[in-house]
Amino acid sequence: MSSTLPLPIPPRTPTPPSDDGRDQYAPRTTQDYQSIESFPRSATLDPVNSERFSPTKSSFNLSSRAADTPASVQNGASDSVPAAPFNFDTTVMSKGPVVKSNIGQRRGHKYKHSSISHQIFLEPPPRAPLALPNSLPIPTLKECRASMSKDQKTRFWWSLCHMFVAAYTLWTAHGSLAMTALSHLILFDSLGALVCVAVDVLSNFEVWKRSSIRHPFGLERAEVLAGFAMCVLLLFMGLDLISHNLQHFLEKSGHEPHHSHDHDRVSLGSVDVTAALAISSTLVSAIGLKNHARIGKAMRFAYIESLPSVLSNPSHFLTLSCSTLLLLLPLVSIRIYDWLDKLLSGTIAISMCFLGVRLVKTLGSMLLMSYSGQGVSDVIKDIESDPSVFGVDDARFWQVHYGLCMANLKLRVSGADDNVGRLREKISSLVRNRLGGGYGTGGQRWEVSLQFTIERT
């Protein structure tokens, strides 16, 4: 029963229409069959001679095939049936390597050079070169030695001699606590003299003062960092002296010392050579090398500001006063000498801690891009008192290094353009005179940038 059932016809796969617009599966007409029958019968293969048309047989020959082909097929029907379906011409292959003519060139279509891409992919506008270089070469130690002048070499050897004076003072200070404190001060001064020489040598190169993207203010901030490290060292040396004095005080009060301390002193009426050497080395470094000059300008003490240039610097004042007192101590009796020595040592230790804290605070704020000087509030009050100024929206004062400070102000003003120009010059001169010390005083250089918001009344 199942064999009598008709077999299902599989679905026809959809086929796209032909180019001539006719349906492929439409039934053929009589005209179609006539066009098929019009094909020349002489072009059909004879089963007897079919071996001649097979390329795999030895009897295959193109010339014989062409001879057997009727002239009507060769002439009239050449457009319909090709004379030779295969091209068996002998080709000699080259044994050498194939050399490409486009070696090193990018494959694919170059859209940049196509005709359409000229309207789509436009060339970027040319950019002007940056005013600041990306970075500048930092000199090596060998380059620094080669660039040193005769004066700079002399100052370098003198800074080493100053360090030798500090070591000699510490070696001869076993009989006096005050002399030990003086050796610490001379060590701080000698390190400052060495930094002054290094700054002078590095200023020979362009990277020291010229700005770049990597170092916007040059390498001058490295001097601030070196001074900050020296101030931290001064603070720790002051704390060490305080602990040393407390240890001696406990020894005198009855506690057994961990190790003996022999306090030999110079004889009465003699000159302490170490103190005289300390005074002379400090004066030479202060006058010849301008030692601690930039630190003294950054940190001013009102108590000693009226003194001469050398003594107005707190570091020089502390070292010279301590050396002078030690030079005069051999003129007193032994009993008074012992008390004065301890009193002078404690005073120097406390002064070193106080000076170290002030220097760390001042240089630390400079490293953090802030200004710790005085007079900022007075400058803002003077600016607000001008009748053309409605108010100060923002005011930023900050110090980059020892020689450069910057002021950024945002003001609301009224008036014409001429009034704005006058106000700009007035505020700039006010900031430079009040905070920078005025023209020709050798103070910090101030760069003032102003932004005005003009309000129409």
What pLDDT is attached to residue 315? 86
Q: Provide the whole-model pTM.
A: 0.65
What pLDDT is attached to residue 293? 77
What pLDDT is attached to residue 412? 87
Name the token pair of 373: 């000087």
What pLDDT is attached to residue 94? 59
CATH code for residues 141-367 = 1.20.1510
Numbered ranges of CATH 3.30.70.1350 in the chain = 376-454
Numbered ranges of CATH 1.20.1510 in the chain = 141-367
Superfamily assignment of 376-454 in CATH?
A: Cation efflux protein, cytoplasmic domain (3.30.70.1350)
List average pLDDT for each run of 10 residues in the chain, which is 457 residues long.
64 60 52 48 48 51 48 46 60 59 52 53 72 84 91 91 91 82 91 90 89 85 91 92 84 57 52 84 86 74 70 85 85 76 89 90 89 84 86 88 88 79 88 72 77 78
What pLDDT is attached to residue 294? 78
